[in-house]
Structure 1
């Protein structure tokens, strides 16, 4: 007897439902029975499509990175590459604070159904960074950043903002040094740290803040509960 073929539509729906439950109710809401009930199917659908809950969680990781890349894709290249690269940082933070539970799974901060990240899983995160590397290259070519390794610059930006977001989600950043205050100062400091002037960096950070709503926040539906799942 040949194995059952998974239904792409059902597969996509299960990923969206699981991500929505995770975002709305936390890890305790994730079970094959609950997800199947929300999808109007039997628990067998989870096993047919993903081999079990661990496989479904892995697909959520891939979906999370695909949707982060979706935010990044709306950052339009402009004559101010520093404003562009700062906007990538803002998009990263927006994605994380909008979907904190999914974000935790994407980076191994939450262990669900026996799932753990593999080297292949982590490659999704590194691949997403490639757009930021390209932007860092433009910043160097424009003379705004020191001549150097664009990939290293992108990793500096990633690790710094990832650290801030982790503290923000843990509610460690409170007044007077709340997440917004620290983030704005961090963005300027990061740009100056890789070679920009304080004056130019301040202008570009302000410009990226102006662009955030129209180029990032308003361009996609909520990445977990409303948006279409990636077809697989």
Structure 2
């Protein structure tokens, strides 16, 4: 007789199955019955391990933030923090493009079965304490913003609030692009995202010339990064523009 799977294993498999069903069939597929069938357990397992679908949706959202943080961690840091912000924007955009259904749940834009993920205000200390996975993803943008402030590229400001401004604009672009408003392929990056990034950088204290050079440095870094990922066969690789 096969050993009984551990509770942590069943819980992880249910989350993995939920993400898979989202990717393949959208939020309508995220149902306790379908999840149980996907994992090979009874429907009661969803309630045993999560207490209900609402908690499972929260766990899926946390997994989305972990995935996003992994994408952003791939970018790394250079001597140009503003270029790093542009690179983070490209990685963020690509992560959402790879798994739009997952990130719709992660950011509360989708509510499978009427259950919306619980979100926190990451610009406040209380909110940061309550959302570790989301904070880890947001922290990549915060660190680059703090370095831009510290090196004089951005004027003195609260790094969390300045980073939230950048995040807001970036996520707005990603959401609109995913809806098809900026045309096919990568044209939205050149026509919208990069000019938007330069405008925001200048608004935060940079110069047009410096911001433009940083955008070009990020373009070159992104091409090199995606080429490396293509050679190693990494899943979720970005695309050259």
TM-score bracket for this pair, using the shorter chain length:
0.7 to 0.9
Q: What is the TM-score with the length of structure 2 in the denominator? A: 0.79
Q: Is the contact made by 2:58 and 2:118 (CA closer than 8 Å) also made in structure 1?
A: no
How many correspondences in the alignment?
Answer: 218
Report the TM-score when normalising by structure 1.
0.82
Task: For residue 196 of structure 1, give the secondary structure of its aligned residue in structure 2.
Answer: coil
Q: Unaligned 5+ residue runs, structure 2?
A: none
Paired residue for 1:133? 142
**SS at structure 1 position matched to 2:181:** coil
Partner in structure 2 of residue 205 of structure 1:
215
Determine whether 1:94 maps to 2:94.
yes
Counterpart selection for 1:189 from 192, 196, 199: 199
RMSD: 2.7
1:208 to partner: Cα distance: 1.5
Query: What stretches of structure 1 of length at least 5 have no aligned partner?
Result: 224-232
Q: How does 1:78-227 map to 2 (within 5 A)?
A: 78-119=78-119, 123=127, 124=131, 125-126=134-135, 128-174=137-183, 178-180=187-189, 181-212=191-222, 215=225, 218=229, 221-222=235-236
Following TM superposition, by how much is the alpha carbon of 1:172 offset from its aligned partner in structure 2, in angstroms?
2.1
